[in-house]
Amino acid sequence: MSFDIALSGIQAINEALDVTSNNIANAGTYGYKSSRANFSSLVAGDQPTGVNIGSHTQNIGLSGGLLNTGRSLDAAINGAGFFMVKDGSNNINYTRVGIFDTSKDGFLVDASGRRVQGAVITPPSTQPGAQGDIAIPTGQIPAVVSDKVNYIGNLSADWPITAFPAAVTPTTPPDPSTFSMSKATVLYDTLGGQHTLTQYFGATGPGAVSVNYVLDGNLVGTPQALAFDPVTGQMTTPAPDPTTTNGSLQLDLSALDTSDPTLWPGFISGAKMAQVPVNINYTGTTYFAGEATTSTNNANGYASGTFAGVDLATDGSVIAKYSNGQKQAVGKLMLATFPDEGALTSIDNTSWAQSLGSGTPLVNFAGVGMTGTLNTSSLEQSNVDITSELVGLMTSQRNYQANSKVIQTESTMMQSLMQAI
């Protein structure tokens, strides 16, 4: 009996050594979670019969250290949760390794080529949609025509009153002696061509400012009037109204005949400006004495651009970048948590699969509910404690020697008995 008991001890120690050696081998593996072999005694009737490995425990709840990689598509989960990836058999795997990239067929994938799962965002919408593969638009994005201009500044109450011209010929900009300030804004036509819209400001009375608009050197539209409260210096016309366009004027460029290249050399044949009036928003503009200043002067719209790369935001948003400086969210990572993550089944590529014991995954965005937050440009290191593993090796060696000594002693006793007989 003692032979069998000692032999079971040696076999159990060998199995525990397999677990320890696997931990040590993966001490440098990103996202790896250490395991432990749990010894369990064996009894037949009321007689002890030895030992075996009764179970294995995964230390999934203990996070590894964070390594700053400086790579924008690396991510580590700070807290609970797993990245979800779909393998070649369309099975969902769960991993803590956030090494992502763009595949040649235009999808966000992990280091093993599995497609990362998340909420799909289809531009121009910014709202996350259904869960699935995150596709990256790697081609050309079309130009977007300008139809909104934002201007905020202080129009000086010290400006002299001028006889701002009410009408000039279409090709003649305002006389410099009739305005006090001009500001240029870049607009884009339907083909992405750049055009310069210049606003000429001139004071026409106390608290009254008139604006003329010149596009590529040609006067467009009609002069617009801005009015300000002479006591508070706040704009009253156009009246700020949160239910409509918030203190905006409209410049109708939709009917421009840009076919004459001598007047409009900047227009490619077929290019048009916005098919609706351009909305020029002056909300926040004031009328105080002193220097005239400009804090905001920009327009929407942009030229076409080609794919230039992908970034990952801290909220899990996948941001596609383009050569025209535009960025757009094309997806948002989703993380999975489990009622019993320790019961997940370990598989290749530092990943896990759902099991009956783990329960059904709860899927959510990073930082929502029990889901951990994301650290971008970082990776989670292994949570293996090398010191503890080496101590475990020495303990296993001592136990192995002790069990071997039992077998040796039993052999010596049997030999003595046979000699006596």
355-384 tens-digit pLDDT: 999 999 999 999 999 999 999 999 999 999
- Same-domain check for residues 232 and 276: yes
Q: What element of type H or E holds 399? A: helix 386-420
Question: 328 in helix, strand or coil?
Answer: strand
Mind giving me the DSSP string for 22-41? HHHHTTTSTT---EEEEEEE
Q: Quick one: 211 and 290 in the same domain?
A: yes
Q: What is the mean pLDDT of the segment spanning 208-224?
A: 89
If asked whether residues 237 and 288 sit together in one domain, one would say yes
Q: How far is CA 170 from the centre of its chain?
A: 48
At residue 226, does pLDDT exceed 90?
yes
Residue 1 has pLDDT above 60, yes or no: yes
Going by pLDDT thresholds of 50, 70 and 90, the confidence category of residue 139 is confident
Q: Check whether 144 has a pLDDT greater than 80.
A: yes
Mean pLDDT score of the chain, rounded to an integer? 90
Same domain, 250 and 153: yes
Domain stop point among 277, 303, 329: 303
Cα separation, 331 vs 318, whole angstroms? 5
Residues 180 and 293 in one domain: yes
pLDDT band at 102 (very low <50, low <70, confident <90, very high): very high
Q: Return the percentage of the chain with pLDDT > 90, whole number.
A: 69
Task: Please indicate, yes or no, whether residues 409 and 367 belong to a single structural domain of this protein.
Answer: no
| SS3 track for 217-258 | CEEEEEEEEEEECCCCCEEEECCCCCCCCCCEEEECCCCCCC
Q: Residue 159: what residue type? A: W
**Do residue 264 and residue 164 come from a single domain?**
yes
For residues 157 and 296, state if they share a domain: yes
Confidence of residue 241 (pLDDT cuts 50, 70, 90): low
Whether residue 101 sits in one domain with residue 213: no
What single-letter amino acid sits at 205? G
Positive or negative: CA dihedral 171, 173, 175, 178: positive
Print the domain residue range for 314. Answer: 66-141+306-380
183 and 219 housed in the same domain: yes
pLDDT band at 170 (very low <50, low <70, confident <90, very high): low
* pTM passes above 0.85: no
Q: Are residues 289 and 330 in the same domain?
A: no
60 to each of 52, 95, 158, 350, 363, how far by Cα in Å?
23, 11, 69, 12, 18
Residue 100: pLDDT over 80 = yes
Q: Maximum Cα–Cα distance for the chain, whole Å?
A: 135
- The tokens for 216 are 């590529």
On the question of a cis peptide bond just before residue 238, with omega within 30 degrees of 0, the verdict is yes
Cα gap 206→215, rounded to integer Å = 28
Count of structural domains within the chain? 3
The reply to whether 324 and 338 lie within a common domain is yes
CATH of the domain at 284: 2.60.98.20
Question: Is the confidence at residue 171, as pLDDT, over 60?
Answer: no
pLDDT of amino acid 72: 93
For the stretch 303-320, pLDDT in tens is 999 999 999 999 999 999
Cα 129 to the chain's mean position, in Å? 15
Residue 388 has pLDDT above 70, yes or no: yes
**Which two tokens mark 137?**
């638009």
Which of 270, 303, 336 corresponds to the end of one domain? 303
Predicted confidence (pLDDT) at residue 165 exceeds the cutoff of 80: no
**In this predicted model, what pLDDT tens digit does every residue of 52-76 receive, in sequence order?**
999 999 999 999 999 999 999 999 9
pLDDT of residue 293: 96
- Residue 207: its pLDDT value, please? 93
